[in-house]
Structure 1
Amino acid sequence: MTISLAYSPITVDDVDAAIPFYRDGLGLEIVNDVAYDGHRWVSFGFPGQPGLSLVVSDPTAGRSPDDGDQLQRLVVKGSGPGPYVFATDDLDATFERLRASGAEVLQEPIEQAWGPRDAAFRDPAGNHIRLNQA
């Protein structure tokens, strides 16, 4: 038996604002863009990792309006799901690309006491994103 992660959802308040962060900043590829019933889901693929996707959508996509509103408040406060942790083989280049895109820097690259060298950002919706040197 094998098992693998197929996709991971990230809630954003504005899908259009999130696209440059994930596509241009992190270097992910748009593999699907679906609109349905007033909502939108954009799937990003990871180069070299076929079958794995990150899906961004608005808070009420697939949720009740009340649940979506509560999730939105948590994300904006920085208390939503996450942090979302990505690994990169060039932390400095990825960090500079994200900083140049205007992303909010939470932590510049540093060596952590528990091992990895990492950095942190907020995406345009307020999600906490960490980058580890692979």
Structure 2
Amino acid sequence: MLTSITITQIYVPDQDQALDFYVGKLGFEVQADMAFGPMRWLTVTLPGQPNRAVLLEKPGPPSMSEETAAEVRVAISKGVAGGHLFFACDDAYRTHAELTAKGVEITEEPVDQPYGIDFGLRDPFGNHIRIAQMKSA
């Protein structure tokens, strides 16, 4: 039976720009960065969580044609490509302030929800990210 999710994938048109954002602004660490056949295999993890990675995948061969990749890049930029990441934090207001100071595009200010305090942002390509300070059960 399945025991855990190890890698989640999102499309990013520029992997170097994605590194700058996910590592430089959000605080991820590079787990793997290597040539993997015709593609660059680039995964990042949150510090202390080496078994849960995000694959920052450039749309293109071998998984899709260049024509399809161009369509995917347009969809990403419109925020409709399905790329969503959800993260937890200890203090939503502090995390929001830190990310704002780093120039991250905040799309939704922190809101008190029944499950905790959360806010939304987008990466430089249009992928949606939500960060929440969860309430205790």
Q: TM-score range by the shorter chain?
A: 0.7 to 0.9
Alpha-carbon distance in 1 for matches of 2:79, 2:17:
17
* 1:125 alignment partner in structure 2: 125
8 Å contact from structure 1 (residues 25, 97) kept in 2 = no
Segments of structure 1 that go 5 or more residues without pairing to the other structure are: none
* 2:99 alignment partner in structure 1: 98
Task: Report the aligned-residue RMSD.
Answer: 2.0
Segments of structure 2 that go 5 or more residues without pairing to the other structure are: none
8 Å contact from structure 2 (residues 41, 55) kept in 1 = yes
8 Å contact from structure 1 (residues 21, 98) kept in 2 = no
Alpha-carbon distance in 1 for matches of 2:93, 2:23:
17
Alpha-carbon distance in 2 for matches of 1:2, 1:36:
25
Normalised to the residue count of structure 2, the TM-score between the two structures is 0.84
8 Å contact from structure 2 (residues 31, 50) kept in 1 = no
1:4 matched to 2:4? The reply is yes
1:19 matched to 2:19? The reply is yes
8 Å contact from structure 2 (residues 118, 133) kept in 1 = yes
- Which residue identity lines up with residue 16 of structure 1 in the other structure? D
Structure 1 position 124, deviation (Å)? 0.8
Q: Which runs of 4+ in 1 moved over 6 A?
A: none
Structure 1 position 13, deviation (Å)? 1.2
Alpha-carbon distance in 2 for matches of 1:36, 1:6:
18
8 Å contact from structure 1 (residues 26, 94) kept in 2 = no
* 1:48 alignment partner in structure 2: 48
8 Å contact from structure 1 (residues 26, 98) kept in 2 = yes
Normalised to the residue count of structure 1, the TM-score between the two structures is 0.86
Structure 1 position 93, deviation (Å)? 2.9
Aligned residues: 133
Structure 1 position 38, deviation (Å)? 6.0
* 1:89 alignment partner in structure 2: 90
Structure 1 position 2, deviation (Å)? 4.8
